[in-house]
Copies of this chain bind each other. A is one copy, B any other.
Amino acid sequence: MDEPRWLDAHEDRAWRGYRRMRRLLDLELARELMRDAGLSEPDYDVLSDLSEAPEQRLRVSELADRMLWSRSRLSHHLSRMQQRGLVMREEHPSDGRGAVVVLTPEGRRAIEEAAPGHVAAVRKHLIDLLTPDELAALAAFSHRVVDHLSAPGRPSP
């Protein structure tokens, strides 16, 4: 590791901007979501993924993989959400080790109530601030970065 290539002024500006945007956007979206719907962002993500799944149900490991969460984290979080009546667990029909998470009617109601406001917030604080070109650029490079990080030689566990 000899002479490192530091970030030049443009790169530095992009990197700092990205991190600051990331943080502020997180704070604001979480704040509004909690205030308007009583949900944390992790709550919302779980409910959202479940609501998009066929029959509002997913295998636990499948959900964990989609969310890029550890199984442990998901298990803890599901327990808390189950306490609140948002989801419930069922046995997997064919795999005796498995568990299936299901959206409860209350969970369904919660996500349907939260979604319009949350989407509006995402628009207000991000999407609607970008030009069409910028939006296209974001879509393009973010997926490129994702592919790069998901490429072979990259162990998930």
Binding site for B on A (CB under 8 A): 1, 4-7, 10-11, 13-15, 17-18, 20-25, 27-28, 68, 115-117, 119-120, 122-123, 125-127, 129-131, 133-146, 148-150, 154
Contacts and interface: CB of A to CB of B under 8 A. Distances in A.
B120 A10 contact: no
A112 B36 CA distance: 44
Given A25-B145, A25-B149, A149-B28, A138 B5 contact: no
A145 B19 CA distance: 11
Contacts of A24: 68, 145-146, 149-150
B123 A5 contact: yes
A141 B145 contact: no
Contact of A18 (B120, B142, B144): B142
A24 B150 CA distance: 8
A155 to B, nearest CB: 10
A131 to B, nearest CB: 8
Contacts of A135: 10-11, 14
A137 B133 contact: yes
B14 A138 contact: yes
Given A119-B5, A137-B134, A17 B143 contact: yes
Contacts of A15: 122, 126-127
B142 A5 contact: no
30 contacts: A1-B117, A4-B115, A4-B119, A6-B119, A7-B127, A10-B135, A10-B136, A11-B135, A13-B143, A14-B127, A14-B130, A15-B122, A15-B126, A15-B127, A17-B142, A17-B143, A17-B146, A18-B126, A21-B145, A24-B68, A24-B146, A25-B145, A28-B149, A125-B149, A129-B141, A129-B144, A130-B141, A131-B141, A134-B137, A137-B138
